[in-house]
Chain A
Amino acid sequence: MSTAVALPAPVVEMIGVRRFFPGPPEVQAINGIDLIIGQGEYLSIVGPSGSGKSTLLHLLGLLDNPTGGVYRLDGVDTMSLRERRRAVLRGERIGFVFQSFHLLDHRTVLENVALSMVYVGVPRRQRMARARVALDRVGLSHRMEFAPTTLSGGERQRVAIARALVAEPSLLLADEPTGNLDSANAEAILQVFDELHSEGMTLAVITHDDNVSRRAQRQVRIVDGTLKW
């Protein structure tokens, strides 16, 4: 059994967090989770289907509200925040990578990446430049003006990663990022994660794939809405 490494200012601090879906059927999706993610940590969350992984990720990403407990993000108590403030915090501090990419098909790759700076108040002039840097970072500088639909799955996920990074979040959350990819493309994504980790980015990756989970610095298991160490 390992304990969380006590870093000076944890990015995530969850104490006794619960999420209850009134249903029907009623589901206690998250049932009292204590979780601390320190700055620069690379964490994987594994668990069987229906164990509450996605629900936990939504809570971590401020997309959903816990029904109980305490959640501090970057030291900010998120429980008392109003929705507007939560949206701002979400936009500024969290980068999301989804299994199904969630790119806008009608916009270019560059525009898709720049989109994540629209709601956090990055001046327009800077957005394109920063989006280019982020795409360069994931090795897609030659695809900037392409439509996402013309890209391979691996490339699309790299666009999604660039989009998650470009607003310089404190925490990168990925839900089954390799779920739709073949092993070669999955490996490329995992390499990007490794690089990000080595540069000091805080990552939490949800997966049920052990190969993915193993790459992380620390693994936690989730079963029936509780963490098992």
Chain B
Amino acid sequence: MRDLLDEALAGVAARPTRLILTTLGTVLGVAALVGTVGLGQTAAGQITQRFDLAAATRVVVQPDDKGGQEGEAATQLPWDAPDRIKRLNGVEAVGTVSSLEIGDDLVENVTGLDGGEGKALQVMAGSSGLWDAVRAVLKTGRFFDDGHDQRADKVVVLGKHAAERLGINRVDSQPAVFIGDEAYTVIGILDSVTGRADLNDAVIMPNGTAKQAYKLESPDAVEIRTAVGAAQLIAEQAPIAIEPNNPSTLTVDAPPKQGAVRKGVESDLNALFLLLGAVALLVGGLGIANVTLLSVLERISEIGLRRALGAARRHIAVQFLVESVIVGFLGGLLGTAVGVILTVGVSWVRDWTPILDNRLAFGSPLLGAFIGLVAGTYPAWKASAIQPITALRGT
């Protein structure tokens, strides 16, 4: 077997110029495939980086004229809005958020560790679903839940910056803050939220508590986190779900559709390039088949000699088959290199991070080899079928 490989290698190496020309089609085909897939993967990576995922899945519903004075707004969001939204397909999490009118009330650390002065902090209220909807991450402690909400417990969660200003960084000692004259237990401190930066500077209490303490009548906004790609649909359905009779009185903030459009264009382009690559591969395969057939005819006397030296039909067949596999493999290798360089080059120019699947890089030379195998089958069979006396004729 090793010998056959050696013989095949020697056969391939004997005609270097032809080798290069033969591999050309395969090189182009594999390069096109690797380049297309590589750039596709790279571009996909950039898309998710640029349109950050959080923004692409965020939908916010608010009453139309939120600007109205003292709750004279024509529309109020119902308290059960989250429940109505939750039923929609593609909603991953939903919660309400409201800013509270606390008048002149200041917020102060009960222990006075913050310097003993009241701070003019934003006080907000939310439903238990809010946290998941804004992808809130805790630094410490816990979120309030439906229980706190229903019991109107005097608990709050602090936004990151609010906690800093109040000098509170842990909750295991059950710290408390005064809002006005009322004490609230701090049960959690936020580390980060997405899309609602105002929560970072706020002290947030459950809706139930806010209703009692500050007569909160209705939520300011409904925050919805959707599944990837579902944002547009939810944006259409949400107002109807909340206000079936008057959906137009609600405003919806949803991510632009551009992302989807661009992706569509890109996949069309990809398909085109992949098709081109496939055609180039087909041509490459035919090229290999053609040249191998030519080389069989050219080397008839070599075939005759080998048969005279004891080679069986299969030895001849395997040799030519291995030769064309080597040619295909080299083409695949070269094509992969070109494709990778293309991907890296374009990424470099566009200032992207090149992303290339390992399987693609290692698989593509094998694809070339496979094409060589298929292309070489007929010529190899042809070569092995040549009678020794025909091959040696003219001696």
- The residues of A with any CB-CB pair to B shorter than 8 Å are 54-55, 58, 61, 63-64, 83-84, 87-88, 90-92, 94, 96, 98-100, 102, 104, 106-107, 111, 115-116, 118-120, 124, 163, 167, 175-176
Instruction: Across the interface, name the chain B residue whose C-beta is closest to A179.
Output: B395
Cβ of B313 and Cβ of A83 under 8 Å apart? yes
Cβ of A116 and Cβ of B388 under 8 Å apart? no
Interface check B185, CB cutoff 8 A: no
Measured between alpha carbons, how far is A106 from B299 in the docked complex, in Å? Answer: 12
Interface check B312, CB cutoff 8 A: yes
Interface check B310, CB cutoff 8 A: yes
Cβ of B309 and Cβ of A54 under 8 Å apart? no
Instruction: Across the interface, name the chain B residue whose C-beta is closest to A118.
Output: B3
Measured between alpha carbons, how far is A87 from B387 in the docked complex, in Å? Answer: 12
Interface check B88, CB cutoff 8 A: no
CB proximity of B348 to chain A, nearest CB, Å? 42
Residues of A within 8 A of B44 (CB): none
Interface check B74, CB cutoff 8 A: no
Q: Which of A88, A92, A99, A111 contacts B395 (CB 8 A)?
A: A99
Known contacts A64-B388, A106-B10, A118-B3; is-contact A87 B310 (Cβ 8 Å): yes
Q: Which of A88, A102, A106 contacts B305 (CB 8 A)?
A: A102
- 14 contacting pairs across A/B (C-beta < 8 A): A58-B389, A61-B308, A63-B392, A83-B312, A87-B310, A87-B315, A91-B310, A94-B308, A96-B308, A102-B305, A111-B10, A118-B311, A120-B310, A176-B395
Residues of B within 8 A of A61 (CB): 308
Q: From residue 291 to 322 of chain B, which have CB atoms closer than 8 A to chain A? A: 301-302, 304-315
Cβ of A90 and Cβ of B302 under 8 Å apart? no
Instruction: Across the interface, name the chain A residue whose C-beta is closest to B15.
Output: A106
Interface check B14, CB cutoff 8 A: yes
Cβ of B395 and Cβ of A87 under 8 Å apart? no
Q: Which of A83, A115, A175 contacts B309 (CB 8 A)?
A: A115
Measured between alpha carbons, how far is A106 from B395 in the docked complex, in Å? Answer: 20
Cβ of A84 and Cβ of B3 under 8 Å apart? no
Q: A63-B307, A90-B308, A104-B302 are in contact. List 13 more A-B contacts (CB 8 A).
A: A58-B388, A64-B388, A87-B307, A92-B310, A98-B395, A99-B395, A102-B301, A115-B309, A118-B7, A118-B309, A124-B2, A124-B3, A176-B395
Measured between alpha carbons, how far is A30 from B392 in the docked complex, in Å? Answer: 18
Cβ of A91 and Cβ of B395 under 8 Å apart? no
Measured between alpha carbons, how far is A61 from B395 in the docked complex, in Å? Answer: 14
Residues of B within 8 A of A87 (CB): 307, 310-313, 315
Cβ of B310 and Cβ of A63 under 8 Å apart? no
Q: How many residues of B contact A (CB 8 A)?
A: 27
- The residues of B with any CB-CB pair to A shorter than 8 Å are 2-3, 7, 10, 13-15, 301-302, 304-315, 387-389, 392, 394-395
Measured between alpha carbons, how far is A54 from B308 in the docked complex, in Å? Answer: 14
Measured between alpha carbons, how far is A75 from B387 in the docked complex, in Å? Answer: 25
Instruction: Across the interface, name the chain B residue whose C-beta is closest to A86.
Output: B312
Measured between alpha carbons, how far is A120 from B10 in the docked complex, in Å? Answer: 19
Cβ of B394 and Cβ of A84 under 8 Å apart? no
Measured between alpha carbons, how far is A168 from B311 in the docked complex, in Å? Answer: 16
Cβ of B389 and Cβ of A119 under 8 Å apart? no
Cβ of A102 and Cβ of B10 under 8 Å apart? no
Known contacts A98-B392, A102-B304; is-contact A116 B10 (Cβ 8 Å): no
CB proximity of B295 to chain A, nearest CB, Å? 12
Measured between alpha carbons, how far is A196 from B358 in the docked complex, in Å? Answer: 61
Residues of B within 8 A of A118 (CB): 3, 7, 309, 311
Cβ of B309 and Cβ of A100 under 8 Å apart? no
Q: Which of B7, B313, B388 contacts A63 (CB 8 A)?
A: B388
Residues of A within 8 A of B387 (CB): 64
Measured between alpha carbons, how far is A115 from B309 in the docked complex, in Å? Answer: 8
Measured between alpha carbons, how far is A175 from B389 in the docked complex, in Å? Answer: 13
Instruction: Report which residue of A61, A90, A92 has the largest number of chain B beta carbons within 10 angstroms of its beta carbon.
Output: A90
Residues of A within 8 A of B315 (CB): 87, 119
Residues of B within 8 A of A92 (CB): 310
Measured between alpha carbons, how far is A116 from B302 in the docked complex, in Å? Answer: 12
Residues of B within 8 A of A54 (CB): 395
Instruction: Report which residue of B10, B305, B310 has the largest number of chain A beta carbons within 10 angstroms of its beta carbon.
Output: B310
Instruction: Across the interface, name the chain A residue whose C-beta is closest to B313.
Output: A83
Instruction: Across the interface, name the chain A residue whose C-beta is closest to B3.
Output: A118
Instruction: Report which residue of A87, A96, A176 has the largest number of chain B beta carbons within 10 angstroms of its beta carbon.
Output: A87
Instruction: Report which residue of B309, B315, B389 has the largest number of chain A beta carbons within 10 angstroms of its beta carbon.
Output: B309
CB proximity of B7 to chain A, nearest CB, Å? 7
Cβ of B311 and Cβ of A91 under 8 Å apart? yes
Instruction: Report which residue of B14, B304, B305, B311 has the largest number of chain A beta carbons within 10 angstroms of its beta carbon.
Output: B305
CB proximity of A117 to chain B, nearest CB, Å? 9
Cβ of B308 and Cβ of A100 under 8 Å apart? no
Measured between alpha carbons, how far is A88 from B307 in the docked complex, in Å? Answer: 10
CB proximity of A23 to chain B, nearest CB, Å? 14
CB proximity of B225 to chain A, nearest CB, Å? 68
Residues of A within 8 A of B307 (CB): 63, 87, 90
Known contacts A83-B313, A98-B395, A175-B395; is-contact A119 B388 (Cβ 8 Å): no
Residues of A within 8 A of B395 (CB): 54, 98-100, 102, 175-176
Measured between alpha carbons, how far is A111 from B309 in the docked complex, in Å? Answer: 13
Q: Which of B301, B302, B306, B392 contacts A119 (CB 8 A)?
A: B306
CB proximity of B201 to chain A, nearest CB, Å? 80
Residues of B within 8 A of A63 (CB): 307-308, 388-389, 392
Measured between alpha carbons, how far is A55 from B306 in the docked complex, in Å? Answer: 18
Cβ of B310 and Cβ of A119 under 8 Å apart? yes
Residues of A within 8 A of B304 (CB): 102
Instruction: Across the interface, name the chain A residue whose C-beta is closest to B11.
Output: A106
